[in-house]
Amino acid sequence: MLRPRVSPTLLLHNGGLVKTRRFAEPRYVGDPINAVRIFREKEVDELFIFDIDATAQQREPDYALIETLAAECAMPLCYGGGVCRADQAQRLIGLGVEKVAVSSAAIARPELVSEMAAEVGQQSVCVVLDTRRVPGEARHELMLHRGRQGAPHDPVATAIRFAKLGAGEIVFNAVDRDGMREGYDLDLAANAQLQLSVPFTMLGGAGTVENLSELFKVCGPIGASAGSLFVFKGDARAVLITYPDRATRDRLALIALSESIV
Amino acid sequence: MIKILDYGVGNVRAFLSLFHRLDLPAEAAATAAALDGASHLILPGVGAFDQAMAMFDASGMRSQVEDLVLGERIPLLGVCVGMQMLARRSSEGVRAGLGWIEGDVQLLGNGEAGERLPHMGWNDIRPVGDHVLARGLEDGRAYFLHSYVFELADRADEIAVTDYVRDFSCMIGHQNIVGVQFHPEKSHRWGAQILRNFARMHPC
């Protein structure tokens, strides 16, 4: 049976790895090559690496660094940041990246997703949607401009449109939960579980392994990604790279299995 | 020497890195001349079937690869779309496949069971016989990223199955030609084991 995917998300900023809180306060965590090597040794399911400056600075992805990181990955790698053209996606796949993620560029120009899918195949196209629960309300909306501005579009409806355009995976990145370690946005996840016909991954909020379990209970074998959970330890947020062991992941797989739709 | 066919489609670099870590000599080959000295061939592939076949046909290597694989019968491993290229045809595209293993490639499921496609993530590998390629896989599993699967014409060519929507062939083989639907270069110890097994195959 398909297992749930548990992945670290690493953020690149000025060539180093950082962690953020609600998309602010970037804090240096370590050297990316070293971190990737450690996660490889821990046999993580897959890895997401996002360059948080590339799009804002309107520069190309750091292809040399990405190629080095990809060569260290014995697991699939999804890269995002600065991608706005299908030829960039093609180049990244050629460097050893399995999935290429786009966010603001796809929202600005949705046809990009179809162009990428035509170039590298739907399975390698990932759309990242930054989301938040609308303050004081039950519904959710998209967040634009690096999580600073709400836009009145339902994230799941948006995801369905992108899936139709050729996205093979959607990542819902909860800005309001980023770094807070209070659990995933389970309402959003439950909505996506009901309506989305492509794989999706939740990111933002995971503070304990129990949070992963909660998510899989609701959604079955989807992706659960986390930054803080695998990179910080304790209230003082000391830097320590960890990852659930195989026994824990087998337990999570059983939980997801009981919710699986296939 | 293991040669990884570099025809513009697929994760050549990841294979080279993995073989390097396994201490197995391997090189990329992008031209027919570069195939000299090949003892094993890897046919990687990602993306769409038609595009992969078109790129392979345009690479200038197909004729030499056919001599090696169909003539000298050296082992060849098709990976992901590379495995699908071994078929006669794929319903994903209009081009003919290589036709080296009898069967066709079909879409996995038809959407009625509510399954998510592509099949994305780690899933279990269940060997069905005792083929050398599947040896030594304890709790075998690998990373899958695909929507299409190989429907074998001859069940005897099935090496291992995986369950998603239904059981499908995740490892296939006919004499010296084998294929895996998942990504062994991105499947940690299990992928490494399969590639080690492949390196031990002989011409047949």
Would you place residue B111 in the very low, low, confident or very high pLDDT band (cuts 50, 70, 90)? low
Contact A71 B17 (CB under 8 A): yes
Q: What helix, strand, coil percent values describe chain B, rounded to 5? A: 30, 30, 40
Query: Which chain B residues contact residue A99 at CB under 8 A?
Result: 145
Q: Which pLDDT belongs to residue B69?
A: 97
Query: Which chain B residues contact residue A73 at CB under 8 A?
Result: 14, 186
Contacts 24+ apart (CB under 8 A), B29-35: B29/B3, B29/B4, B29/B5, B29/B61, B30/B6, B30/B59, B30/B61, B31/B60, B31/B61, B32/B60, B32/B61, B32/B63, B32/B64, B34/B3, B35/B3, B35/B61, B35/B64, B35/B65, B35/B68
Task: Give the mean pLDDT of chain A.
Answer: 92
Q: Which pLDDT belongs to residue A25?
A: 78
Element (H, E) at B127: strand B126-127
Q: Would you list which residues of chain B are within 8 Å, Cβ to Cβ, of chain A?
A: 8, 11, 13-14, 17-18, 21, 46-48, 81, 111, 113-124, 141, 143-147, 163-165, 183, 185-189, 191-192
Section A138-155 average pLDDT:
90
The answer to whether the beta carbons of residues B55 and B9 sit under 8 Å apart is yes
3-state secondary structure of A196: coil
Percent of chain B predicted with pLDDT > 70 = 98
Contact B164 A197 (CB under 8 A): no
Verify whether residue A185 is a known catalytic residue: no
pLDDT higher at B29 or A55: B29
DSSP 8-state secondary structure symbol assigned to residue B73? -
Q: Which pLDDT belongs to residue A218?
A: 94
H runs (alpha helix) in B25-114: 49-58, 62-66, 81-84
Contact B11 A168 (CB under 8 A): no
Q: Is A227 left (phi over 0), alpha (psi -120 to 50) or beta?
A: alpha
pLDDT at A262 over 80: no
CA distance B12 to chain A (A): 7
Contact B115 A261 (CB under 8 A): yes
CA distance A218 to chain B (A): 16
Pick A1's closest partner by Cβ from B124, B187, B192.
B124
Helix A209-219 with A186-195: angle, nearest 10 deg: 30
Nearest to B172 by CA among B69, B43, B84: B84
pTM of the model: 0.95
| B-interface mutation test, from A123, A126, A222, most B Cβ less than 10 A away | A123
Q: What helix, strand, coil percent values describe chain A, rounded to 5? A: 35, 25, 35
Task: Give the mean pLDDT of chain B.
Answer: 95
Query: Which chain B residues contact residue A77 at CB under 8 A?
Result: 186
Section B111-126 average pLDDT:
88
Chain B residue with minimal CA distance to A167?
B118
DSSP 8-state secondary structure symbol assigned to residue B96? B
Nearest to A156 by CA among A206, A193, A107, A106: A193
pLDDT in tens, B61-84: 999 999 999 999 999 999 999 999
Q: Which pLDDT belongs to residue A235?
A: 62
pLDDT at B97 over 90: yes
Handedness of CA A12, A127, B47, B111 (dihedral sign): positive
CA distance A149 to chain B (A): 31
A227 vs A22: CA distance, rounded Å: 12
Q: Which pLDDT belongs to residue A185?
A: 97
Would you place residue B46 in the very low, low, confident or very high pLDDT band (cuts 50, 70, 90)? confident
pLDDT at A56 over 90: no
pLDDT in tens, B127-139: 998 999 999 987 8
Percent of chain B predicted with pLDDT > 90 = 87
pLDDT at A261 over 60: no
B75 vs A246: CA distance, rounded Å: 34
A143 vs A127: CA distance, rounded Å: 14
pLDDT at A221 over 90: yes
Query: Which chain A residues contact residue B185 at CB under 8 A?
Result: 74
Q: Annotated active-site positions of B, please?
A: 80, 183, 185
A6 touches chain B (CB under 8 A): no
Contact B186 A98 (CB under 8 A): yes
Pairs of CB atoms within 8 A across A/B: 111
Q: Which pLDDT belongs to residue A234?
A: 64
Nearest to B85 by CA among B65, B113, B112: B65
Instruction: State the Cα angle at A85 between A80 and A91, rounded to 5°.
Output: 70
